[in-house]
Structure 1
Amino acid sequence: MRTKIGLLFFIATLIVSCNSNSDFDEYVALPKSAWHRTNTIQFTFPVNDSINKKNLFINLRNNKDYEYSNLFLITQMNFPDGQVIVDTLEYDMADVTGKFLGQGFSDIKENKLFYKENITFPSTGDYTFKVRQAMRKNGEVQGIEELEGITHVGFRIEKTQ
């Protein structure tokens, strides 16, 4: 009995310590595991530290219904002073053999994608991060209406080590 309590305490401590370097970590579940072209995911978060460096991540969970080896995203960061930064990003989602990248033992893979590395926020206040998918099939102008296989979209801010 004592060993079980000790093991439970160790696991709980491990879980808490794994997330101790996180300043913000939030997910949005996508309806029907599909990301509609017009569905912009938004995260609003407070910044109280404009001195220490941070790493920013886009977290994605995908399942076996995701048909592509890459992913294009359009991001927008809104600053408290009104400044806006827009980026178009591409991420690999599978290796050359077609095996999904990311972590996970089941059909769901968790992808922790770098958005910005070693940045300091210029000022304190509320920031808003927006992200939408920008996938299209080769040779087509119109984007993919329903990008199937993306189950969750998240945003995470971590303190640098």
Structure 2
Amino acid sequence: MQTILTKNNNFIILFCALLLMSCTTNIVYDKYTPIENHQWFSENKIEFIVNNLDTISKKNVFINIRNNKNYEFSSLFLIANIEFPSGLQVVDTLEYEMTDAAGNWLGTGFTELKENKLFYKENVLFSEKGDYKFNIKQATRSIHDIKGENPLNGITDVGLSIEKVK
């Protein structure tokens, strides 16, 4: 009887491990950069360097933002730049909603820290081998800070994730 239980336990552990691995196999890249003192200055760009070896599979690119209750806006403006291995650059100005119409935080998390996984590029094919540089800067301003002299408070981490399209 003891041997049967041990075999069943081993099978259950193996099954759970395979299940966990199969859930994350589409993740190609996932990295976060913490924001010092949770104050993101407009001149501080966050850079991610991704080495592309797969020139066949289409991918989705996400910008991941973690914010706390000190974030004071209902939306977030970002300037995102991709530099291809060949030197070609693509620059996008992005706007993301951080709260719903009632002012409730969007994203996941049960504490004051919320995490938002924001679509950046969909079904993109990185056809060149080599290093891709992703740069992200915040461009959110209050009415009284048009030049962006004040930091954006409440952003704790900025991340980039890339997933293969299923």
TM-score exceeds 0.5: yes
Provide the residue aligned with 2:59 in structure 1.
54
TM-score norm. by structure 1 comes to 0.90
Looking at structure 1, the residues matched to 155 and 63 of structure 2 have their Cα atoms a distance apart, in angstroms, of: 13
1:25 aligns with 2:30: yes
Shift of 1:114: 0.3
Q: Which amino acid aligns with 1:40?
A: K
Provide the residue aligned with 2:160 in structure 1.
155
| Mapping 1:101-116, distance limit 5 Å | 101-116=106-121
Aligned alpha-carbon RMSD (Å): 2.1
| 1:43-81 Cα distance to aligned partner (Å, 9 max, x none) | 001111111110000001001111110000001100000
Provide the residue aligned with 1:134 in structure 2.
139
Looking at structure 1, the residues matched to 17 and 26 of structure 2 have their Cα atoms a distance apart, in angstroms, of: 16
TM-score norm. by structure 2 comes to 0.87
Provide the residue aligned with 1:83 in structure 2.
88
Q: 1:143 to 1:14 in 2, by over 3 A?
A: farther
Looking at structure 2, the residues matched to 33 and 124 of structure 1 have their Cα atoms a distance apart, in angstroms, of: 35
User: How many residues matched?
Assistant: 161
CA contact under 8 A between 1:102 and 1:110: conserved in structure 2?
yes
Query: What percent identity do the matched residue pairs reach?
Result: 47
Provide the residue aligned with 1:122 in structure 2.
127
Looking at structure 1, the residues matched to 68 and 37 of structure 2 have their Cα atoms a distance apart, in angstroms, of: 12
Q: 1:98 aligns with which of 98, 103, 110?
A: 103
* Structure 1, unaligned runs of 5 or more: none
